[in-house]
Amino acid sequence: KTAGLVADIFAIFLGLFVWLWVVVLIIKAIIKTYQLSFGKTLTLILVPFLGSFLTFYWTIGFFTTLFQILKV
């Protein structure tokens, strides 16, 4: 038995709100604990994500190119 489309949409928005609230609390905790500015805190959080993103796509690109070379 399903709750319906409205309940599903409400649950999705509730989950996103909880996730966003946790992110805000983590940022506030980092600022308070390490006495960093908001900009430095965002840098501290975003740099590892950017590095992971680049590493992932460089790895995919490397193997894609390698397979194209070996296929010929």
- Residue 53 falls inside a structural domain: no
Structural domain includes residue 62: no
> Is 45 inside a domain boundary?
no
Q: Provide the pLDDT for residue 55.
A: 96
Residue 25 within any structural domain of the chain: yes
Residue 24 has pLDDT above 90, yes or no: yes
3-state secondary structure string, the chain?
CCCCHHHHHHHHHHHHHHHHHHHHHHHHHHHHHHCCCHHHHHHHHHHHHHHHHHHHHHHHHHHHHHHHHHHC
Q: Which domain holds residue 31?
A: 1-35
Confidence of residue 29 (pLDDT cuts 50, 70, 90): very high
Q: What is residue 4's predicted lDDT score, i.e. its pLDDT?
A: 86
pLDDT at residue 3, as a whole number: 76
What's the domain count of the chain?
1
Q: Does pLDDT of 1 surpass 60?
A: no
